[in-house]
Amino acid sequence: MSEDTSLKTTPLTGLWQSMGGRMVPFAGYLMPVQFPEGVMKEHVWTRESCGLFDVSHMGPAFLALNETSLAGDAAHAAIAALVETILPCDVAGLAPGQLRYTTLPNASGGVLDDLFVGRPKADADQGTLYFVVNAGCKEQDFAIIAEACAGKATLTRADDRALIAVQGPKAVDAIGNVGDGPKRLSFMEFATVKGPYGEVVVSRSGYTGEDGFEVLIAADKAEAFVRTLLATAHVKAIGLGARDSLRLEAGLCLYGHDLDETTSPIEAGLAWTIQKVRRERGDFPGAARILKELAEKPSRKRVGLLPKDKAPAREGAEIRNLAGEKVGMVTSGGYGPSVGGPIAMGYVDAAFAAVGTELDLIVRDQPRRWVVAPLPFVPHNYHRKG
Amino acid sequence: MTTKYTKDHEWVSVAGDIATCGITAYAAEQLGDVVFVELPNVGRIVSQGDEVAVVESVKAASDVYAPVSGEVVDVNEALAEAPEGVNEAAETTGWFTKLKLTDPAELDALMDRAAYDTYLAGL
C-alpha cells in the first residue's frame, strides 16, 4: 500500500478497508470517502433508511471539575462558569442530559470552531461537561478549554475511542442494539448507557438533518458494535462524501468552509446559538462585534443558493449581482442527491440575502444564474421533545 | 476502427478522419456518480491536451482533455439530460465529443488497449 503512514487510523479503519472503502486523508486521518455503491446511493440510503458513519476523527472530550466538594447543580454551575468565559452559549442553563451546539469565538468575533457541549444526566456526573469538537480544530480547542479552566478543571480527551454516527429514519431501530435507553432520548439529549458494548455515550444528534445518534464507544468494542449494526438489513456504511452532501442539503455549516476566523456567528445565521442570558451579559470573546451585529444586522449573511440550470458551483465561486458587481462567495457547493440538482451555500452582502434574489455565480469564468433559497434544502427530520 | 487511450484516462476511437472521444470506464469509476457534463461548442478548434469538457461528480469538477487535435464537429447532447450515462457506458454511448482530426499522427503516440491496461495495473 502506498498510503501515507503519518496518517492516523481509527478503530474501524481495517474494517472499512476490508469493505472496499475508498480511503483518503482527512484532517490527518485515513478515512473512507465512499464505499463501492458510491456517494449518490449512500446519500439516498441514509435519507430513506439508516447510514452508519465513522466520525472517530472528531474530538470528543470530558471536562471535570477538580474541586470534588461540590455536587449537583452547584457543581454544574461551577463548571459552566469556567467555560462560559470562552463559549457564548448558555452552559449554566443546560438541563441534565442536554446538548447544545455552539461556537468558539475569537476576540474579534470570528469563529475558531463549532462544537457540541453537553451536561450529563446522572447526579454523580454533575461538574462534568461533554464536548465534541471538529477533527481539524481539536488540538487548538482542547488547549483553549484547558487554559480557560487551568487549575480548576481537567480535560480528558476521548478521541482514543470510536465515535460512530447512526443516521436516518431507521436509526432508532438500529440503536436498540446498545439498549433501550437511547430510544427515549430526544434531539440534542445524551446519556451514558451500559450494555453489551460496555459503557457508551449516546447522543441524539448528527450532521445529516435526519433523526439519529452519535455513539462514543471503547476502541476495542467498536468493530463488534458496527458489525452488529451492519448485519441488519436497513444499515449501510456511508463515507465522508455522502456525509458532506447530506449536511449541505441540511444547511449545516462545515468548519473551515462555511465558518472561519473571519465569519461571525451572526453572519453565519447562528444567532440562535447565543441564548438571551448570554446576550444580556455580553461576557464572551468577540462580544463587541457579535452584539453589534445582533443589534444592527450583519453586513453579509450566509444563504442557500439554487441554480436555474444544472451546472454545480463549487467553493470559491464568486457571486455577483445582476450589475456584475462582486457581492459574495460560495463557501460550500455540490450536488444534492435528494434535491436532485446542484446546491450551494455562501456569504452575500445583506442587500442580496433575501430569498428569491437572483444572482450570478461565476463557474469557469461564465456567469450562471442562481437564486437565493431558504435553508435547509431538505426539511430536518429530528426527533424533537414533546 | 482504432481506439487509443491517454494517461489522463481519455479514449479516442477513430473512423476515417472523425475521432470520437470520451473518458474511460476507469476514470468514470474513479469520479463516482457523474451529475453534470459541460461540453464544448461545435466548431471549436482544440489542440491535443486542451481542456475540452468538464465532468462533475457529487463532490468535485474535473477537466477532460482533448486526446488529439481537431475541430469539434459533434457533442453528446444526451449527457446534458442524463449525465449518469457516463457511469453507465463510459466507453460507448457515454462519449463526449467528435473531433475532425487535424493531426492524425498524434494517435501514434497514444496507448493501445493492452498498453493502457498495463498502465492501469501499475497505478
DSSP per-residue string spanning A146-170: HHHTTTTEEEEE-TTSEEEEEESTT
Inter-chain residue contact A311 with B56, CB threshold 8 Å: yes
Longest dimension (CA), chain A: 66
| Neighboring chain A residues of B33 at a CB cutoff of 8 Å | 38-41, 337
In this prediction, residue A179 carries a pLDDT of 77
- B40's grid cell: 464544448
Whole-angstrom distance, CA of residue B33 vs CA of residue B56: 8
In this prediction, residue A178 carries a pLDDT of 78
Inter-chain residue contact B32 with A241, CB threshold 8 Å: yes
> Residue A95 gets which letter from DSSP?
P
Question: Does A44 contact chain B (CB < 8 Å)?
Answer: no
What is the percent of chain A where pLDDT is above 70? 99
Q: Which of A254, A286, A264 lies closest to A86, judged by CA? A: A286
Inter-chain residue contact A241 with B61, CB threshold 8 Å: no
* Closest residue in A to B58 (Cα–Cα): A335
Nearest residue, CB atoms, B58 vs list A310, A311, A335:
A335
- Runs of H (alpha helix) within A188-250: 219-230, 240-249
Whole-angstrom distance, CA of residue A342 vs CA of residue B36: 9
In this prediction, residue B1 carries a pLDDT of 79
| Neighboring chain A residues of B59 at a CB cutoff of 8 Å | 33, 39, 241, 244-245, 334
Residue range A241-273, pLDDT digits in tens: 999 999 999 999 999 999 999 999 999 999 999
* Closest residue in B to A337 (Cα–Cα): B58
Q: Average pLDDT of B109-113?
A: 97
Inter-chain residue contact A38 with B60, CB threshold 8 Å: no
Residue range B23-72, pLDDT digits in tens: 999 999 999 999 999 999 999 999 999 999 999 998 889 999 999 999 99
| Neighboring chain B residues of A245 at a CB cutoff of 8 Å | 58-59
Q: Is A245 helix (H, G, I), strand (E, B) or coil?
A: helix
Inter-chain residue contact B36 with A312, CB threshold 8 Å: yes
Show Cβ contacts of residue B77 under 8 Å, excluding neighbours closer than 6 positions.
B39
Inter-chain residue contact A314 with B58, CB threshold 8 Å: no
Residue A4 confidence class, pLDDT cut points 50, 70, 90:
low
Question: Does B104 contact chain A (CB < 8 Å)?
Answer: no
pTM: 0.96
Nearest residue, CB atoms, A310 vs list B36, B58, B61:
B36
Residue A115 confidence class, pLDDT cut points 50, 70, 90:
very high
Residue range A300-350, pLDDT digits in tens: 999 999 999 999 999 999 999 999 999 999 999 999 999 999 999 999 999
Task: Indicate whether A47 pLDDT > 90.
Answer: yes
Q: For strands B18-23 and B97-101, give the pairing.
A: antiparallel
* Closest residue in B to A311 (Cα–Cα): B36
In this prediction, residue A205 carries a pLDDT of 98
- Runs of H (alpha helix) within A12-107: 13-18, 39-48, 72-83
Question: Does B59 contact chain A (CB < 8 Å)?
Answer: yes
Instruction: Select the residue from B30, B33, B39, B41 to test the A interface by mutation, using most A Cβ atoms within 10 A.
Output: B33
Question: Does B63 contact chain A (CB < 8 Å)?
Answer: no
Instruction: Select the residue from A257, A310, A338 to test the B interface by mutation, using most B Cβ atoms within 10 A.
Output: A310
- Runs of H (alpha helix) within A57-127: 72-83
Inter-chain residue contact B36 with A337, CB threshold 8 Å: no
Whole-angstrom distance, CA of residue A45 vs CA of residue A33: 16
Q: Does residue B89 contact residue B76 with C-beta atoms inside 8 Å? A: no
In this prediction, residue B104 carries a pLDDT of 94
Question: Does A241 contact chain B (CB < 8 Å)?
Answer: yes
* Closest residue in B to A35 (Cα–Cα): B32
Nearest residue, CB atoms, B32 vs list A38, A310, A342:
A38
CA angle A323, A329, A334 (to 5 degrees): 115
| Neighboring chain B residues of A241 at a CB cutoff of 8 Å | 32, 58-59
| Neighboring chain A residues of B57 at a CB cutoff of 8 Å | 39, 335
Question: Does A311 contact chain B (CB < 8 Å)?
Answer: yes
In this prediction, residue A187 carries a pLDDT of 98
Sheet holding A111-118, edge to edge: A99-105, A111-118, A128-133, A59-65, A153-157
In this prediction, residue A1 carries a pLDDT of 44
Show Cβ contacts of residue A299 under 8 Å, excluding neighbours closer than 6 positions.
A267, A349, A350
Inter-chain residue contact B58 with A334, CB threshold 8 Å: yes
Inter-chain residue contact B59 with A244, CB threshold 8 Å: yes
| Neighboring chain B residues of A342 at a CB cutoff of 8 Å | 35-36
Residue A181 confidence class, pLDDT cut points 50, 70, 90:
confident
Whole-angstrom distance, CA of residue A170 vs CA of residue A159: 27
* CA-CA-CA-CA torsion sign (A269, A270, A272, A274): negative
Q: What is the mean pLDDT of chain A?
A: 96
Residue range A121-168, pLDDT digits in tens: 999 999 999 999 999 999 999 999 999 999 999 999 999 999 999 999
